[in-house]
């Protein structure tokens, strides 16, 4: 009991000390007359406890009255915001920039992910090209080994000496074999004339007229 009383006295002294700091100087001087030199209150102390009103138990609580908010009387017509909207803000350019950035980002990720796969594909492609090149070189070497200078010269001479057949014979378009026969007959006739002229020259050279 005595301990509880001491704690109450100390709390009350702390309260009074805190209150004195905020009091007017005149009021503080008046209050200091009734205190002891140590600053503690004098006994006996009268403490007035606040009275707590008793609560009544209500059997039927009062009903909750809902608040009714009056609706506005002004009727606003509903319109489509996408039609005839002068304050429309479009972010088409921002969308284009964002798509470009996303494409660049995805391409960077794809290159990073497929780096070694694409390197293997490039290596196989280069190997195929190298094999084809080596095969072509070997074919050229074999063809050079088979080359014969005499046969090459003979082929060129045959081309030079080859007779070109005309498409027409005396203004008439004829088949190739017919033109060959006509050319052969013309050459035989020409050769016969040349031989006849040579025989005549020989006959005239060996002819000696009789002298009397």
Divide the 212 residues of the chain into consecutive groups of 10 and give the mean pLDDT of each group. Answer: 60 57 52 48 60 58 65 71 66 89 96 96 96 95 92 91 82 86 91 91 77 55
Query: What 8-state DSSP symbol labels residue 170?
Result: T
Start-to-end Cα distance in the chain: 209
How confident is the model at residue 167, as a pLDDT?
A: 83
CA torsion, ordered 89, 92, 95, 101, to nearest 10 deg? -130
Let me know: does 28 contact 18? Beta carbons within 8 Å.
Answer: no
How confident is the model at residue 175, as a pLDDT?
A: 87
The phi and psi torsions of 18 (rounded to 5 degrees) equal: -70, -35
How confident is the model at residue 34, as a pLDDT?
A: 46
Domain regions of the chain by residue span: 91-159, 163-201
What is the value of pTM for the model shown?
Answer: 0.33
């Amino acid at each position: 009991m005595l301990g509880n009383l001491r704690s109450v006295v100390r709390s009350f002294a702390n309260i009074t000390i805190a209150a004195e700091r905020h009091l007017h100087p005149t009021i503080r001087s008046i209050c200091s007359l009734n205190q002891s030199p140590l600053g503690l209150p004098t006994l006996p102390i009268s403490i007035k406890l606040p009275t707590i009103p008793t609560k009544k138990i209500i059997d039927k609580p009062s009903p909750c009255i809902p608040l009714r908010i009056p609706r506005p009387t002004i009727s606003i017509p509903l319109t489509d915001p996408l039609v005839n909207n002068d304050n429309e803000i479009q972010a088409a350019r921002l969308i284009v920039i964002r798509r470009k950035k996303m494409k660049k980002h995805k391409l960077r990720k794809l290159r990073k992910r497929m780096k070694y796969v694409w390197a293997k594909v490039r290596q196989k492609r280069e190997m195929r090209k190298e094999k084809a090149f080596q095969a072509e070189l070997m074919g050229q070497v074999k063809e050079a080994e088979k080359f014969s200078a005499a046969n090459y010269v003979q082929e060129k001479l045959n081309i030079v000496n080859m007779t070109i057949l005309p498409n027409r014979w005396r203004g008439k378009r004829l088949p190739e074999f017919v033109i060959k026969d006509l050319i052969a007959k013309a050459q035989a006739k020409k050769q016969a004339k040349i031989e006849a002229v040579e025989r005549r020259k020989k006959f005239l050279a060996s002819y000696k007229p009789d002298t009397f």
